Structure 1
């Protein structure tokens, strides 16, 4: 009987010490937040993993999200992009206007995000006062985006444009003054 008691005691001691070794069960919170003797936490529920994408990499959509026709890059689009850029820079390059009037007249050319950004700009910080040459479309990364350079008396201003679909007009996302200017 004594040998059985020693064997049971040795087994209990081995199990108790096993919890102290690295990699063994550690005391920790149980499912209800209270400490458990073994520290064994319930195994996490499996997180669903989306299947890998099938097909080709994403290209320009075949249909616009709005249900309207997808825009195309053609001469009409370029003319519209140049016109909106020039009109927006003319509205932007008026540092002598009171801020409220300046913003009201500029905001008709801006996207909602640009309106939030430009509402705080002080027109007196703008060095340009007039457009000095015809705008030039310099980048067409997508049928939804364009970059137009507009020459002013203070240097070339970059105008970033976007549109939602074919019939939607170009809107200004950002007017980037010449380097070193506000």
Structure 2
């Protein structure tokens, strides 16, 4: 199967960041929002996240690629109202899926 177009990676990152930055949602609703964008293993790991502990409430910037997308892997940084969300995506079965994330709080 050929990899998905590189241009399709950033929209997946944007959708994930917007779904992730929703600490106001109940855990099940939050999880249903992020899961369709993730690979199975990462989706299972996100089951343990308490969305009330997610520090960001909104995305404030466009995704900036810090690696790729090439070779079926890409890493993006996305500015939020509380810091920088780093999202890793991989080409899996013809589409880009989120395989990991990290967050660095802004220093105020």
Q: State the TM-score, normalized to the length of structure 1.
A: 0.54
Where structure 1 has 5 or more consecutive residues not aligned to the other structure, the ranges are 1-67
Tell me the CA shift for residue 143 of structure 1: 1.4
Tell me the CA shift for residue 141 of structure 1: 7.5
Q: Does 1:97 align with 2:18?
A: no
Residue correspondence of structure 1 range 109-148 to structure 2 within 5 A: 109-140=37-68, 142-148=70-76
Q: 1: CA distance between counterparts of 2:35 and 2:9?
A: 16
- Larger of the two Rg values belongs to structure: 1
Q: State the TM-score, normalized to the length of structure 2.
A: 0.89
- The root-mean-square deviation of aligned C-alpha atoms, in Å, is 1.8
Match of 1:171 in 2: 97
Match of 1:84 in 2: 12
Q: Does 1:162 align with 2:103?
A: no
Larger RCO of the pair (alpha carbons < 8 Å, separation 6+): 2
Q: 2: CA distance between counterparts of 1:113 and 1:139?
A: 22
Runs of 4+, deviation exceeding 6 Å: none
